Structure 1
């Protein structure tokens, strides 16, 4: 039997997806993998029924249907504050997961270096391994998860090709300030590097924080690949509709990568999702209010239980400190939490380059009744506190 590829020697399966399987095994409330338990907007579901009958059911243009790209360009031009041309600045992908991979493969050669902030979404390390690049990790220091500009400069000085930026951040919920983004941008320009952004939580930002698109900063559109998806904004994580926005020359190469990775995103789902892209400002305002209410409900519940956490500024995740329970292995703690308490979380160590094992990550993208039941179960943790 020939040897398998050695590029996967350092690979593990997704801890997040594994925790979903463990949640199902124990009938636990799944606050690990970040997907809602409520329906998408009615407009999308109604259009999906029509698309099921009328199609299209065959291949669309590989980089996205003409109508989908047109509506996406209109929406993102407004929100990003920059003109986005549907014919030259967009490639539609199978979720933001493919968008990030295609972006990495577009700008990086094997052996290149990329900067990754730690903690980070677990896929970024996998992307680096699969594209043959070396990640250089720069820590974000709690409680505000700030980076040291001098440490970031030292990372750039190592000759990096790109920096990956998740904003708002998973798993911390950090929203990078305009000043922080300007620091990153100035270093990217000085050292002639690309910025690959993951902005899937762009519409889930809590007051007083605001989201600034890296590509909207002066001089940054030409070196930024803005990756995002419709998954979180419209509660359609299973539809797998993502995209990359960037300068025409870069997008032209992205389209080639995407074409041979997946050919194209699902045609009938692109048709149905257009209805989401046409929604007005009131939808996005309502989305933010809804998640603010869920955040308040969940964090107040954690306060009553006495759990320590970092308050998220955006997205729908919260890092919780479990050090008081005396379990040094966060993975074992999460297994126990699912089996004995009935709530599933993600071990925090899967997000950190550093040897950090005192955190777990919950998400609160659930119906209020689901969160209330989860908090009721978590009340039992009071019996196991060691300190």
Structure 2
């Protein structure tokens, strides 16, 4: 019966990041692979969720207060006027299996589908709410054959959503080591079929925060080609070295063509709560809302109630969040440098370090991760899974061909105890001459 699967479904494979997390569990290894905190969420938010459950908020629900608070935050931080009644959609992931079934079923004109009410959480993996928000957006605007530009390296979800909707991802490579945007590369990526551009800033996996100059280049291209932009801003409150996140929507003439997606997950350490949102012009938000209702109906009711408490957090909370994560970033960067990594780029946001293997290391990224698990009991992510661009003939030097297999992503959204334990295990591979065994 495998022939009943769609051509897109046949290309999908398990998330390598989640597979590494499963491996960490089986091997009792320290998980620096997957981007979820292993420390408690803020107590007042957990208490709000418990209170909501005890108050029997158990049914389908739309908590308008979330939209009101998000609109206020966008005004305060990005100086954007957002109508909470028409421009914001609360997103989640519960009945995504239904959507997955629809996309995965191989259909032709007149085909019939028997729908059995035995749903499984098909999308039960990291970033499901943001995938749902992206999927709703992509489904609402992308048609068969439309091209969508993505900056590379990139998080795996974007390509999946685009392909499920029948679109074609077009990758524009950011230039290492600082992951700068090349204007000429961006210009060459546009065609008459380009429908949208996807922007993730602060960026996973590199930790790059796109500069205002780069955002202006992207905004100019969107206006020149009359296309839409969808932004993934889940790390908006996690920036370092006095760097400030700027939403693409806040640039002149961009709000009317930009869909902003974000969530509670990273900011409040609740990646399993599945509360996210999309902010868009009313005509797009309406389409996203209609698709969302058909797929999932509503986000988890008690966690929507708890989101109200989270979104009312004082400025001091966000300041403390940045300070704490900056210390964790510095700890991991220092740890890696001590064992021989050459950190040319220090992440400015998110909670990942994208570390290049030194030239002296003969292992590929995959081989390094495998040996790190075997010899140190620490799990990281090989960088090759984030790269999608094919190098051109003029860039066929060994150095150019190699860099896509020379990066390792370490997640530092972990407790001090976890990071200290990882450091001890990794440092334990330094031999008597002071050299790291794997490098």
* TM-score bin, normalised by smaller chain: over 0.9
In structure 1, the residue matched to 2:333 is 299
In structure 2, the residue matched to 1:331 is 366
Distance 2:78 2:342 in 1: 35
In structure 2, the residue matched to 1:341 is 376
Q: Answer yes or no: is 1:10 the counterpart of 2:3.
A: no
Distance 2:169 2:428 in 1: 40
The two structures have a TM-score, normalised by structure 1, of 0.95
How big is the alpha-carbon RMSD for the aligned residues of Structure 1 and Structure 2?
A: 1.5
In structure 2, the residue matched to 1:154 is 188
Larger gyration radius, structure 1 or structure 2: 2
- State the shift of 1:273 in Å: 1.5
In structure 2, the residue matched to 1:375 is 423
Question: 2:238 pairs with 196, 201, 204, which one?
Answer: 204
Q: Answer yes or no: is 1:141 the counterpart of 2:171.
A: no
In structure 2, the residue matched to 1:126 is 160
In structure 2, the residue matched to 1:236 is 270
- State the shift of 1:236 in Å: 0.5
In structure 1, the residue matched to 2:411 is 363
Q: Contact (CA 8 Å) 1:71, 1:278: kept in 2 or not?
A: yes
In structure 2, the residue matched to 1:41 is 42
- State the shift of 1:77 in Å: 2.4
Distance 1:302 1:340 in 2: 16
- State the shift of 1:240 in Å: 0.8
Secondary structure of 1:237's partner? coil
Secondary structure of 2:172's partner? strand
Q: Contact (CA 8 Å) 2:239, 2:322: kept in 1 or not?
A: yes
In structure 2, the residue matched to 1:24 is 25
Question: 1:222 pairs with 256, 265, 272, which one?
Answer: 256
- State the shift of 1:351 in Å: 0.3
Distance 1:68 1:55 in 2: 19
Q: Answer yes or no: is 1:75 the counterpart of 2:73.
A: yes
Q: Contact (CA 8 Å) 1:325, 1:385: kept in 2 or not?
A: no
Cα distance change, pair 335–260 in 1 and its aligned pair in 2 (3 A): farther
- State the shift of 1:90 in Å: 0.4
The two structures have a TM-score, normalised by structure 2, of 0.84
Alignment coverage as a number of residue pairs: 383
Q: Contact (CA 8 Å) 2:368, 2:438: kept in 1 or not?
A: no
Q: Contact (CA 8 Å) 2:199, 2:229: kept in 1 or not?
A: yes
Distance 1:382 1:46 in 2: 44
- State the shift of 1:325 in Å: 3.1
Secondary structure of 1:325's partner? coil
Distance 1:36 1:214 in 2: 27
The unaligned stretches of length 5 or more in structure 1 are: none
Q: Answer yes or no: is 1:320 the counterpart of 2:355.
A: yes
Distance 1:31 1:278 in 2: 30
Q: How big is each residue's C-alpha offset from its partner over 1:180-213, in whole Å with a ceiling of 9 and x where there is no partner?
A: 1011001001101100100000000112421111
- State the shift of 1:158 in Å: 4.9
Cα distance change, pair 216–27 in 1 and its aligned pair in 2 (3 A): same
Distance 2:2 2:387 in 1: 34
Distance 2:2 2:330 in 1: 55
Q: How big is each residue's C-alpha offset from its partner over 1:283-333, in whole Å with a ceiling of 9 and x where there is no partner?
A: 1111101111111111111121122333101111011223533123x3343
Q: How big is each residue's C-alpha offset from its partner over 1:345-364, in whole Å with a ceiling of 9 and x where there is no partner?
A: 11100000146211110010
In structure 2, the residue matched to 1:84 is 82
Q: Contact (CA 8 Å) 1:92, 1:244: kept in 2 or not?
A: yes
Q: Contact (CA 8 Å) 2:131, 2:161: kept in 1 or not?
A: no
